[in-house]
Amino acid sequence: MAHGEDRAQLHVPNKALATIAIMAAMVMQVLDTTITNVALPHMQASLGATQETISWVLTSYILASAVAIPITGWLADRIGAKRLFVFSVAIFVIASVLCGIAQNLTEMVLFRTLQGIGGAFVGPLAQTLMLDLNRPSQQARAMSVYGMGVMIGPIMGPIVGGYLTEWFDWRWCFFVNVPVGIACLAGLILLLPEKPLKRRSFDLFGFSMLALGLASLQLMLDRGQHADWFSSTEIWIEAALAVSCLWIFAVHTVTARKPLFSREMFADRNFVSASIFMFIIGMVMFAAMALLPSLLQGLFGYPVVETGEILASRGIGVLVAMAISGRLTGMMDPRLLVAGGFALSTASLWMMTGWSLDQGWTPFVTTGLIQGLGIGLVFVPLQVLAFGTLPPSARTEGAAVLNLARNIGSSIGIAVVMALLARNIQVSHADLAQHLTPDRLPIDPAMLPRFGQLGEAALLAADGIVNQQAAMIAYLDDFYLMALACAIAIPASFFLKRPKPRAPGEPPPVISE
């Protein structure tokens, strides 16, 4: 029989079914972050919202998740990981039903907030339980299964949302969670064991500062484009609150006797480095997922369903990479896999900077496949490196921080690329338009009024071409920026420290509560 340290920390009657229940809950939650994106125009008409206010359907969910994630570790210690997981899935399913029957925007925002709170704990708890269910020699493979859920969900969301909206109704984007959620609840209740509870004081001041700082940051990022960024007093107030509250939280964490997050966890070089890399993954992956649907539909004219099918190539790449990276992590230096994954992602983004308006669908699929392979290769070894030097008691707290880093990265990445896209479209339009001088046109513009409506149509067509080219240049500029962010991460991967295997019987490192 294997040594005690090599046994699974949690004993369950059927590990395979428990894994399916955990991962189904995880995929359901992650899928919901993007499944509603394609349904927003339909919701807008049905709920009587404007184009600006309908964005609160997404913002409320993101805000609630960001605020709730940091207390996952404390709640899991106080009421138990199993109870918290069951409670979270139940709240998520109930909120999904309420979102599906919402009659106005106020109800929808309120129910999406509740859904965000329920879903916030699912990711960290799923990651912790996947580690606890498997002995150390199998944890890389467990993280590859977990990673598939994390990465496939956002990619499949627009596809599933497109089909449900097209063939049924936008409300089914929420109702689809009900049967899946009920099956998950049954599996979690029957299969997961209880873990010992811990009495642990709650850092109310630290949590308040972190929650207010994250909420202000998320509001600033989500509202920035609508409010014209720092031309707006609202954005200045939100930025000031975010900076001041997060700074106070950082100082409090260093000086408080019992802070919200353990100080020793942030003294672990691997964990801090992995959190930064998770931030980059969130920034690049989710920024790309935000840009590509509008590019494919707006400039290339693909319908919603076909757009989703083209983007599915990323999911195929992720699945392939996840399937092999779990095995490779135990056979070679994980840092090489992280660097190789970022190199593949950089290569795919560099290829995307060569796109043109007259290309077919093949470059979209090719680059998507390569990018999926890169992201899949990074994710598993990064989890192994992050948790390799942390004790099991710190897993839930660590998983919460990693999930939070990925979420903040995605919010900042999306906000930056969207702001640059809008700005660069205007700049590129002005640059292109100045070259449309009368001597470069096939006909003298002074003669166009003689043709009446045909002349006006010709001018509109010329302006349309300029707009289209300007938008394409702006998208390519965003891809350049994302490629640069990925390229910087390649050499930085070797700042990670390869965890040394513990000798038999050697206790794991202890992190003080």
| Average pLDDT rounded to a whole number, residues 171-175 | 87
Helix intervals (H) in 334-394: 334-352, 362-388
Q: Which of 16-20, 294-298, 500-504 has the lowest mean pLDDT?
A: 500-504
| Average pLDDT rounded to a whole number, residues 379-403 | 78
Report d(CA 194, CA 172) in Å as an integer.
Answer: 34
Q: To 10 degrees, the CA torsion angle through 171, 174, 176, 179?
A: -130
Q: Give the per-residue pLDDT at 499.
A: 58
- Its pTM stands at 0.76
**Side-chain half-sphere of 299: how many Cα atoms within 13 Å?**
26
The pair of three-digit structure tokens given for residue 444, joined into one six-digit string? 């003298």
Higher pLDDT, 289 or 354: 354
| Average pLDDT rounded to a whole number, residues 226-254 | 88
| Average pLDDT rounded to a whole number, residues 327-339 | 80
Alpha carbon distances (Å) from 467 to 441, 458, 473: 17, 14, 10
Report d(CA 396, CA 131) in Å as an integer.
Answer: 10
Q: Which residue has the tokens 């490192």?
A: 509
State how far Cα 411 lies from the chain centre: 8
- Is residue 166 within 8 Å of residue 303, measured between CB atoms? no
- Kindly tell me the burial class for residue 109, based on how many C-beta atoms sit within 10 Å of its own C-beta (0-12, 13-18, 19 or more): buried
Average pLDDT of the chain is 79
| Average pLDDT rounded to a whole number, residues 2-11 | 47
| Average pLDDT rounded to a whole number, residues 13-41 | 80
Model confidence band, residue 241 (pLDDT cutoffs 50, 70, 90): very high
| Model confidence at 82: pLDDT above 70 | yes
Q: Give the per-residue pLDDT at 443.
A: 58
Report d(CA 354, CA 360) in Å as an integer.
Answer: 13
| Model confidence at 351: pLDDT above 90 | yes
Q: Give the per-residue pLDDT at 98.
A: 93
- Kindly tell me the burial class for residue 186, based on how many C-beta atoms sit within 10 Å of its own C-beta (0-12, 13-18, 19 or more): exposed
Model confidence band, residue 285 (pLDDT cutoffs 50, 70, 90): confident
| Model confidence at 364: pLDDT above 80 | yes
DSSP character at residue 194: P
Higher pLDDT, 100 or 306: 100
Share of residues in the chain with pLDDT > 70 (%): 86
- Is residue 265 within 8 Å of residue 401, measured between CB atoms? yes
Report the range out of 243-252, 296-305, 490-499 with the highest average pLDDT: 243-252
Higher pLDDT, 115 or 410: 115
| Model confidence at 269: pLDDT above 70 | yes
Report d(CA 63, CA 218) in Å as an integer.
Answer: 6
Report d(CA 479, CA 387) in Å as an integer.
Answer: 32
Alpha carbon distances (Å) from 484 to 89, 292, 415, 478: 38, 18, 17, 10
Report d(CA 134, CA 129) in Å as an integer.
Answer: 9
Q: Give the per-residue pLDDT at 247.
A: 94
**Side-chain half-sphere of 107: how many Cα atoms within 13 Å?**
13
Report d(CA 243, CA 239) in Å as an integer.
Answer: 6
| Average pLDDT rounded to a whole number, residues 8-15 | 66
| Model confidence at 496: pLDDT above 80 | no
Q: Give the per-residue pLDDT at 88.
A: 92
| Model confidence at 432: pLDDT above 70 | yes
Report d(CA 423, CA 327) in Å as an integer.
Answer: 44
Task: Give 57-76 pLDDT, tens digit per residue.
Answer: 777 887 788 888 888 888 88
Model confidence band, residue 123 (pLDDT cutoffs 50, 70, 90): confident
* Residues with Cβ within 8 Å of residue 282, at least 6 apart in sequence: 405, 406, 407, 408, 409, 410, 413
Backbone angles phi, psi at 343, to 5 degrees: -65, -40
Model confidence band, residue 5 (pLDDT cutoffs 50, 70, 90): very low
